[in-house]
A and B are shown apart, each in its own frame.
Chain A
Amino acid sequence: MLETMTLETLKSNHDRCAEKVTKRIIICAGTGCMANGSMAVHDEFVRQLEAHGQRAMVVLDKPEPGYLVSGSGCQGFCQMGPLVSILPEGLMYCKVRQQDVAEIVQESVLGEGCVERLAYKCPDSGCTCKHMDDIPFYHRQSRFVLQMCGFLDPENLSEYVAQGGYFAAREAATRKTAEEICATVLESGLRGRGGGGFPAGRKWEMARVQDSRKKYIVCNGDEGDPGAFMDRSVMEGNPHSVLEGMILAALGIGADEGYIYVRAEYPLAVARMKRAVRDATEAGILGESLFGTGRRMTMTVVEGAGAFVCGEETALLSSIEGNRGMPTPKPPFPAQKGLFGCPTIINNVETLATVPLIFRLGVERFRAIGIPSSPGTKTFALTGHVANTGLIEVPMGTTLRHIIQDIAGGVTDDHGDLCGTDFKAVQIGGPSGGCLVQDHLELPLDFDSLKKAGAMVGSGGLVVMNRSTCMVEIARFFMQFTQNESCGKCVPCREGTKQMLALLTDIVEGRATLETLSLLEEVAEMVQIGSLCALGKTAPNPVLSTLRYFRDEYLAHVVDKRCPAGKCAALRTFAIDPETCIGCGVCKRKCPVGAIEGSPKKPHRIDVEKCIRCGACLESCKFAAISA
């Protein structure tokens, strides 16, 4: 039975098997690549190798020679998926389809060559990057928490152990006191990656000193921010690192039971976390006797049911208890009175996945990364109008310019083409965060500097927007989101977000006056001060920050009844270009209010007074003569 196996046996068994592997083919099996058919690519590799009379292994469990074809977690470069890497050479292929596999097997697996047409081509320099390390998107990052995502087979416990996993947790379980564990985390300066940046060590210490026989550790995997998927990738790519972090946290506060709360929209993350818990329990790591110490330690994966507010600590606990996910006032803090009334700490996925690395590498090496007030790295989900979208990791304090220019490869226009001057803003921290503009390009991204700029790290979604984006519409979009997700418990949030949404709708639909703007600001302040939980307190942030940096855009909507980006349908003015119009009369027939006039074969004209801005003419014109 596995139970008697020590970590050393697991590791040496794995190493013995790994030695025999001729080459390893890694196919990204993150949600993004799977959507693009990476599993078919995986199976094709096995088929092709077997057709060549080679031994293809999908799990590394026997010390026999052959080729290992394994899946991995999200490698971050989602746009270029499905991604395939060949080790030991370190070749990386992008957008690999099933029909490309035969060629890759021939050239790079059985042979030593490279299929250049599938290698990444740098859009600006045009050079071909054969190896993963050659690709600017990767070599300009500092992958720390994500280092093993994209290499490890997330469904194989031995592999995690072989690269040093669970040793830190075992040492803590057998040789360290709870006090020492908390002290290490406090000393490391690790701050919560879920949003506010509260020092993790202080949270743990607060729970540790509570006098209670029962305590809980909860992992918050309810990553609900639209535009963020870091936690999903960690859970999918390296689930055991999250579990090891949870074990260390549990030892630090004296808990014997943990819950992993994952949103239901992440079915793959749920499956991989469940598998990790099962494998760790079978191997005697978790269960009735943690690492054979006789100490009980159990973990349960709980699925969310689609409520953004459950990312808030107290609401999340309420949801685990089987109730409506509504927050409760703090204090008492969950560290004092949390799940089922017992002291509980709730840490974000990324925070917990960082913890084992601190113990493995030591506080010194961790503190050497990032800046003194925010040590370590931060993962960001990079999306929107940039050349390279995906998941990235950089040291805390990296500038926005480095991320956008060097890693993301620059801002793109609406057609996805690179254009140097089109940067308008970055929305950071989702519906709780704010926007950063041109002036912030040199701003170091860390908890404190972002707070000063009126934004927050949040969970780490970075949505880059180009000039064609209407900032008022974006503010309205976020308000629509928070208004939908407001749980309805406290009045300022429930009614305030509704009023703010109505005011913003007035602005984009051209009904607003200057009074609307001052009222909007007044309500925003009220919601910020009066709401019960962080959802309400931060809901006005996108509005306030766009008002701060794009007031002229608001004024254009309110005073001139004009949308500078041309995005707000109700404020568009339609016009026919007399040069292009051939006078076919289609638009005239389509116009529901008879606002278009003109004789056949002569350029037509739109009467702006009569026009209801429905856009029917724009859609009907086959000659692109109508502009909005």
Chain B
Amino acid sequence: MENLRNFDQVCAILKEHDHNPNRLIAILQAVQDVYRYLPEEAMTFIATSLGIPPAKVFGVASFYAHFTLEPKGRFVVKVCDGTACHVKKSNDIAEALRKHLGLTPQSQTTSDMLFTLETVSCLGTCGLAPALVINDEVHGLQTPQSAVELVSEIQARETAVHA
């Protein structure tokens, strides 16, 4: 929470966008890149700095799927459920990962804050369906087994680092 009281980075982002309320979406994107989510304090701070109501900032943040109001895991796994992936059984992949990570339909993030599992509507890599993305890295032609292996590899690497 230490860095939340210090808005230096947010100020720098606001300055970069000339404190222009029309750039609100770009500002929120940059702020989310810093915190990996949009903390309420940061949104209020942005609203005050831009001279717009906090409700407007919250309205925009809650409208777009790209924004998250809750902290996400360090590895965000997005399983594509676009049409092409769907007809090639992307559901089974999401289900296998959910089981592997011990997640319920209500919880998206593991308790150790390592993984967040999401399904997205289309990554545009339909030629490689079914596909998934782990932190912006695309993995195509997946099966439930290969997806679980990818995640297990990260888990093993992380445990090794901490041990």
- Interface residue ranges, A against B (CB under 8 Å): 31-32, 34-36, 77-79, 81, 223-229, 232, 264-267, 302-308, 319-325, 381, 383-385, 389-391, 427, 430, 461, 463, 465, 469, 474, 477-478, 481, 484-485, 487
Contact indicator A229/B29 (Cβ below 8 Å): no
Contact indicator B136/A383 (Cβ below 8 Å): no
Contact indicator A306/B65 (Cβ below 8 Å): yes
Contact of B138 among A35, A305, A308 (CB under 8 A): A35
For the side of the interface on B, what is the size category? 35 or more
**Is B105 located at the chain interface by the 8 A CB criterion?**
no
B148 CB to closest chain A CB (Å) equals 15
Contact indicator B87/A463 (Cβ below 8 Å): yes
Contact indicator B125/A305 (Cβ below 8 Å): no
Interface residues in B57-110 (C-beta closer than 8 Å to A): 59-60, 63-67, 81-84, 86-88
| Between-chain CB contacts (< 8 Å), 8 pairs | A35-B131, A223-B124, A229-B124, A229-B126, A389-B126, A469-B87, A477-B83, A487-B63
Top 8 A-B pairs ranked by shortest CB distance? A78-B127, A226-B82, A306-B65, A383-B84, A305-B64, A227-B83, A35-B138, A306-B66
Stretch of B6-14, B20-28, B152-160 that contacts chain A: B20-28
Contact indicator A35/B82 (Cβ below 8 Å): no
**Is B122 located at the chain interface by the 8 A CB criterion?**
yes
Contact indicator B126/A322 (Cβ below 8 Å): no
Contact indicator A265/B122 (Cβ below 8 Å): yes
Contacts of B136 in A (CB 8 A): 267
Contact indicator A463/B125 (Cβ below 8 Å): no
Contacts of B28 in A (CB 8 A): 305
Q: Once the chains are docked, how many angstroms separate the CA of A478 from the CA of B63?
A: 20
**Is B139 located at the chain interface by the 8 A CB criterion?**
yes
Q: Once the chains are docked, how many angstroms separate the CA of A600 from the CA of B57?
A: 65
**Is B145 located at the chain interface by the 8 A CB criterion?**
no
Q: Once the chains are docked, how many angstroms separate the CA of A79 from the CA of B129?
A: 9
Contact indicator B64/A306 (Cβ below 8 Å): yes
Q: Once the chains are docked, how many angstroms separate the CA of A349 from the CA of B154?
A: 38
0/1 interface trace, chain B 116-138, chain A, CB 8 Å (1 if under): 00001111111111010000111
Known A461-B83, A463-B83; judge A322-B139 contact (CB<8 A): no
B33 CB to closest chain A CB (Å) equals 11
Contact indicator A35/B128 (Cβ below 8 Å): yes
**Is B140 located at the chain interface by the 8 A CB criterion?**
yes
Q: Once the chains are docked, how many angstroms separate the CA of A319 from the CA of B28?
A: 13
Contact indicator B67/A383 (Cβ below 8 Å): no
Contact indicator A35/B83 (Cβ below 8 Å): no
Known A303-B29, A325-B63; judge A32-B125 contact (CB<8 A): yes
Q: Once the chains are docked, how many angstroms separate the CA of A592 from the CA of B138?
A: 38
- Interface residue ranges, B against A (CB under 8 Å): 21-26, 28-29, 56, 59-60, 63-67, 81-84, 86-88, 120-129, 131, 136-140
Contact indicator A305/B128 (Cβ below 8 Å): no
Contacts of A461 in B (CB 8 A): 83-84, 126
Contact of B124 among A31, A308, A323 (CB under 8 A): A31
Contact indicator B23/A78 (Cβ below 8 Å): no
Contacts of B121 in A (CB 8 A): 224, 226, 308, 481, 484-485
Beyond A229-B124, A321-B22, A474-B87, 5 additional contacts (C-beta under 8 Å) are A79-B127, A227-B84, A303-B29, A385-B88, A389-B84
Residue in A81, A265, A319, A474 with the greatest tally of chain B CB atoms within 10 Å: A265
Contact indicator A324/B83 (Cβ below 8 Å): no
Contact indicator B84/A463 (Cβ below 8 Å): yes
Contacts of A384 in B (CB 8 A): 83-84, 87-88, 129
Q: Once the chains are docked, how many angstroms separate the CA of A306 from the CA of B28?
A: 13
Contact of B122 among A224, A324, A325, A469 (CB under 8 A): A224
Contact indicator B29/A264 (Cβ below 8 Å): yes
Contact indicator A381/B64 (Cβ below 8 Å): no
Known A264-B29, A324-B59, A463-B84; judge A307-B65 contact (CB<8 A): yes
Contact indicator A227/B25 (Cβ below 8 Å): no
Contact of B25 among A322, A381, A463 (CB under 8 A): A322
Known A227-B83, A227-B84; judge A324-B60 contact (CB<8 A): yes
Contacts of B24 in A (CB 8 A): 322-323
Q: Once the chains are docked, how many angstroms separate the CA of A374 from the CA of B57?
A: 44
Contacts of A391 in B (CB 8 A): 127
Contacts of A227 in B (CB 8 A): 82-84, 122, 126
Q: Once the chains are docked, how many angstroms separate the CA of A79 from the CA of B126?
A: 9
A137 CB to closest chain B CB (Å) equals 12
Known A32-B140, A306-B65, A463-B84; judge A389-B29 contact (CB<8 A): no
Q: Once the chains are docked, how many angstroms separate the CA of A113 from the CA of B74?
A: 48
Known A34-B138, A303-B29; judge A232-B124 contact (CB<8 A): yes
Contact of B126 among A323, A383, A477 (CB under 8 A): A383
Contacts of B66 in A (CB 8 A): 264, 304-306
Contacts of A390 in B (CB 8 A): 127
Contact indicator B122/A225 (Cβ below 8 Å): yes
A124 CB to closest chain B CB (Å) equals 20
A216 CB to closest chain B CB (Å) equals 13
Q: Once the chains are docked, how many angstroms separate the CA of A188 from the CA of B66?
A: 39
B120 (CB) vs chain A CBs: closest residue = A265
Known A78-B128, A322-B24, A385-B87; judge A265-B64 contact (CB<8 A): no
Contact indicator B82/A323 (Cβ below 8 Å): no
Contact indicator A79/B128 (Cβ below 8 Å): yes
Contact indicator A302/B26 (Cβ below 8 Å): yes
A225 (CB) vs chain B CBs: closest residue = B122
Contact of A228 among B29, B64, B126, B138 (CB under 8 A): B126
Contacts of A319 in B (CB 8 A): 25
A34 (CB) vs chain B CBs: closest residue = B138
